[in-house]
Amino acid sequence: MNTLSDISLHTSIFPTWCPGCGDFGIWGAIKKALTELAIPEEQLVIVFDIGCSGNMADFLRVYGFHSLHGRSVPIAEGIKMANHGLKVLVIGGDGGIYGEGMGHFIAACRGNHDITLLVHNNQTYGLTKGQASPTTTKGVKTSSTPNGLIENPVNPVALALSAQASWIGRSYAGDILYTTEMIKKAIMHTGFSLLDVFQPCVTFNKLNTHQWFQQKIYKLESEGYLSNDPAKAWALSNQEDRLPIGLFYENPDAVPYHKQLQQLSDKPLVQQFPTHVSLKAVFGEYA
Ligand SMILES: Cc1ncc(C[n+]2csc(CCOP(=O)(O)OP(=O)(O)O)c2C)c(N)n1
Ligand code: SF4
């Protein structure tokens, strides 16, 4: 049984991200977190969304699934349901998760599915060259909003709180050690965890730059914040002059979805079927 180590996590492909992209910091933090957690490699699955963020599928050697834009969350839930012994992590962008996949995001929070959702929140559609995304600031001019964005942005932390997610955190890609610790906590939480990571897109987002974040962010725990009060978390999630990072809210008592399914109480679904299943026979049932 191999555990995930920094060397075994590498593929032969070096990232194609733009120099200075926040994705590098998150990539480093993920590798460090997985190495330190020492999860056996066959007990972790990562589901990647589509985007610059999802392209990490090529740069991490793990058991994984590169899914469709906005559809990574339900695939992760399916994997967890099929074998609830696995740790399941989703990696996607603000476009895929809070735009195309918004309904799946809310459903995962409500269901307390035991997966970790890590969102590279760069407030733009990076891969398709900088169109406005659901988290883009109102008024910003982009290639899809040449006269300025009309809509208000969504607030991922507030959305997760209102949908009763059981673990909600935020981090900043430029602080790799802090992001590493947040990823470790999110993965070790039993139940749904959202880690929204501020990720500067140095090519297309000229507003939310590294410098901009570094002037605004502070760590919740540095101000004695406790993460057990949704009302306080809500107020802080709406702060704009300063931007808190850290653990906004945690409910360790919330029972995850798979533990409420009687069918899975004895053993994982995969162990309830013969090891060799004839796909022909399975498909035949639908003929
Ligand atoms: C359903 C669907 N809509 C649109 C696209 C086109 N598309 C591919 S990547 C992308 C933007 C990705 O942005 P985001 O999810 O924020 O990830 P990033 O590239 O910023 O990491 C879009 C619009 C698609 N592949 N599928
Ligand atoms: S387009 Fe933006 S998000 Fe994509 S790799 Fe370049 S800097 Fe990163």
96, 117 Cβ separation under 8 angstroms: no
116 ligand 1 Cβ < 6 A: no
pLDDT in tens, 37-62: 999 999 999 999 999 999 999 999 99
Lining ligand 2 with CB less than 6 A are 17-18, 21, 23, 52, 122, 126, 201-204
Q: Give the nearest ligand 2 atom to 204 CA.
A: 2
pLDDT in tens, 139-185: 999 999 999 999 999 999 999 999 999 999 999 999 999 999 999 99
Least confident of 10-24, 171-185, 251-265, 272-286: 272-286
Ligand closest to the CA atom of residue 205: 2
Residue nearest to atom 6 of ligand 2 (CA): 18
Amino acid 282: pLDDT = 83
CATH 3.40.50.970 fits 23-284, yes or no: yes
Q: Whose CA is nearest to atom 5 of ligand 2?
A: 17
What is the reported pLDDT for 26? 98
- Tell me which of 50, 72, 100, 120 to substitute to probe ligand 1's pocket, judged by most ligand atoms within 8 Å of the beta carbon: 50
Tell me the CA–centroid distance for residue 104 and ligand 1, in Å. Answer: 16
Q: Is the CB of 93 under 6 A from ligand 1?
A: yes
pTM of the model: 0.96
In this structure, the strands spanning 167-172 and 243-250 are: antiparallel
Mean of all residue pLDDT scores within the chain:
96
**The predicted structure's pLDDT at residue 125:** 98
Q: Are 192 and 114 in contact (CB under 8 A)?
A: yes
Q: Is the pLDDT of residue 6 over 70?
A: no
Question: Which ligand 1 atom sits closest to the C-alpha of 99?
Answer: 15
**Closest of 191, 192, 170, 190 to residue 181, by C-alpha:** 170
User: Is the Cβ atom of 181 under 6 angstroms away from ligand 1?
Assistant: no
pLDDT at 276: 76
Place of tokens 């066959």: 42
pLDDT in tens, 214-261: 999 999 999 999 999 999 999 999 999 999 999 999 999 999 999 999
* Ligand 2 atom with the shortest distance to the CA of 53: 3
The most distant pair of C-alpha atoms in the chain lies apart, rounded to whole Å, by: 62
Atom 8 of ligand 2: nearest residue by CA position: 21
C-alpha to C-alpha distances, 105 to 4, 92, 99, 156, 225, nearest whole angstrom = 28, 11, 9, 10, 26
